Amino acid sequence: MYDVIVVGARVSGSPTAMLLARAGHRILLVDRATFPSAKPPATNLIHPPGVLRLKRWGLLDEVLATGCPPITHYGLESGPARLMAPLPPAEDVAFALSPERETLDEILVRAAGKAGAELWEGADVHRLLTDDGAVTGIEVRGRGGDALVARARVVVGADGSNSKVARLVDAAKYRARGVLNKSSWTYWSDLPHDGKVRTYRHRHRHAFTWPTHDGLTIVGVAWPTADFAVRDPDATERAVVEVFDDVDPDFAQRLRETKRADRWMTGAVPNFLRAPAGQGWALVGDAGYTRDPITAAGIMESLRSAELLAEVIDDGLSGRRDLTEALAGYGQRRDDLVTAHYEYTCDYATVADHSAEELEFIQAMTRSPVHAAGMVGVFAGSVTPQQFYSRASIHDLLDYVPRGRDAAWRVRFVRWLVKGVPGRLGPARRLGDRLIAGHIGAMGKYLLAPGSG
Ligand SMILES: Cc1cc2nc3c(=O)[nH]c(=O)nc-3n(C[C@H](O)[C@H](O)[C@H](O)COP(=O)(O)OP(=O)(O)OC[C@H]3O[C@@H](n4cnc5c(N)ncnc54)[C@H](O)[C@@H]3O)c2cc1C
């Protein structure tokens, strides 16, 4: 009998198992893969809140030693708006990393083993054991077809977005948005490593590039689903370089002069949250929350929700709280942690062009270092949309809106309403806020939220 069985041993499962084993619990970690296991078809940027978890757990030096340089700045270019800002810190960590996924997964699974978790590799979970509606264990099929059972007080599904555990417990999806875009990317050699993530939004294309591991650079483009075409590798390369021609001709030229170092890969990810816990079970990582990779947040979210779930289960197993109650509370805490960034990601993932007003706001951010860092902090998950789009923050930003341009007329109007009507400030402000909110997309609701800044 184990205390906890964790199904899935990558960026969400291994840390959950490691933290619970370190807390003294008896843990079984199961994966149908064997490690080291081929890298999943995904890019690999880890925002500062994720890097912070690696540091807290004593794994950061090992990850840094694999040859992935710190990334200190994120940028967004969209037409005339060019924003590049230093990452605001998550506690004392102000850099991101983009380590090789196979190596990262290997470091995490070995850390779980070192902490005392027992690992079953090549073991496919195909059935859950239940008792009176509560999950009590798993049945696995090994490589040779042999069936094994294991029992535990909690079974954790860390088995990815197509989670078998979620299907077996019938965990309901909510806030689902389907697939919003499709991307193609690869790794490039001989491009300068300057510690910057560059993203570009133009004509319904989202182009991205950043330094990753072993001197390589990720280069890719996301298209709205309806515009995505399946192409052969040469045509994919031409299509990607053409997008860079449009948004950063110098970079496009460098791509022509240097070499692709890997095959072209394609990804499309649906967006949803799943009910993350019930009697004797919980979900963590992509199993409980899958979102478009456009904000590159999956690893960061997996690491921080592993920490949250391990704390919740430890509370229950050590008797500080009733286990069923603790698991029930996990759902709300997980949603509080991820929902605003999830909505931000879904909005971003439509790859819609920025409106003239949004561009004015982005240009205003380039003049205000605090807002520039805040904006990249929202992307990176270290500043919440509630903080950045709060009334106080947006009102401050209005001081930096460029003056004298035709496209800025509505913003200037709003500015007048918000700041310049003595004696009628209350109602005028509320009207002004509603007008601004209507022009800054889905996040505008945080400006209008009760208690906002
Ligand atoms: C195209 C693309 C680009 C991305 N780019 C980024 C990025 O730049 N940055 C970022 O942070 N995130 C990115 N992500 C998201 C990130 O890859 C995921 O969020 C992350 O891998 C989720 O980790 P996980 O451990 O929850 O699940 P997974 O990595 O999916 O691991 C699940 C594990 O469960 C095992 N498993 C599944 N079913 C069973 C079973 N029945 N029995 C036993 N074992 C089982 C699997 O073998 C696997 O090892 C990207 C994703 C995609 C698709």
What is the rounded distance in angstroms from the CA atom of residue 196 to the CA atom of residue 75?
7
The one-letter amino acid at 328: A
The enclosing H or E element of 126 equals: strand 124-131
Mean pLDDT for 324-331 is 94
Q: What is the pLDDT of residue 424?
A: 44
Pocket of ligand 1 (CB under 6 A): 7-13, 30-33, 40, 42-46, 124-125, 158-160, 164, 267, 269, 285-287, 293, 296-300, 302
Centre of ligand 1 from the C-alpha of residue 129, in Å: 25
Mutation test of ligand 1: which of 302, 303, 305 has the most ligand atoms closer than 8 Å to its C-beta? 302
pLDDT of res. 443: 78
Burial 67-98 (b: 16+ CB within 10 A, else e): ebbbbbbbbbbbbebebebbbbebeebbbbbb
| Residues 169, 156: Cα–Cα separation, whole Å | 11
Task: Give the pLDDT confidence score for residue 422 in this predicted structure.
Answer: 44
Q: Supply angle C-alpha 350, 352, 354, rounded to 5.
A: 140
- What band does 41 get if pLDDT is binned at 50, 70 and 90? confident
Residue with CA at minimum distance from ligand 1 atom 44: 31
- Phi then psi for residue 150, to 5 deg, are -145, 145
CA–CA distance, 59 with 28 (Å, rounded to integer):
21
Query: Which of 39-43, 314-318, 391-395 has the highest average model confidence (pLDDT)?
Result: 314-318
Confidence class of residue 299 from pLDDT cuts 50, 70 and 90? very high
> Could you tell me the CA-to-CA distances from 404 to 215, 407, 408, 410 in Å, in that order?
44, 9, 7, 12
Do 131 and 279 contact (CB within 8 A), yes or no? no
Expressed in angstroms and rounded, the spacing between residue 300 Cα and the centre of ligand 1 is 12
**Ligand 1 center–CA 298 separation, angstroms:** 8
pLDDT in tens, 89-133: 999 999 999 999 999 999 999 999 999 999 999 999 999 999 999
Query: Ligand 1 atom closest to Cα of 265?
Result: 1
Average the pLDDT over 232-246 and give the result. 94
Give residue 412's pLDDT. Answer: 56
Give the mean pLDDT of 137-163.
94
Residue in 318, 322, 317 with CA at minimum distance from that of residue 153: 317
Q: What end-to-end distance do the CA atoms of the chain give, in Å?
A: 50
Q: Give the Å distance between the CA of 285 and the centre of ligand 1.
A: 8
Predicted TM-score (pTM) of this structure:
0.93
Pick from 444, 428, 363: nearest CA to 402: 363
DSSP one-letter string for 234-293? HHHHHHHHHHHHHH-HHHHHHHHHSEE-S--EEE--EEEEE--EETTEEE-GGGTEE--G
- Ligand 1, atom 26, residue with closest C-alpha: 285
Q: How far, in Å, CA of 418 to CA of 177, rounded? A: 34
Q: Look over the chain and give the mean of its residue pLDDT values, rounded to a whole number.
A: 91
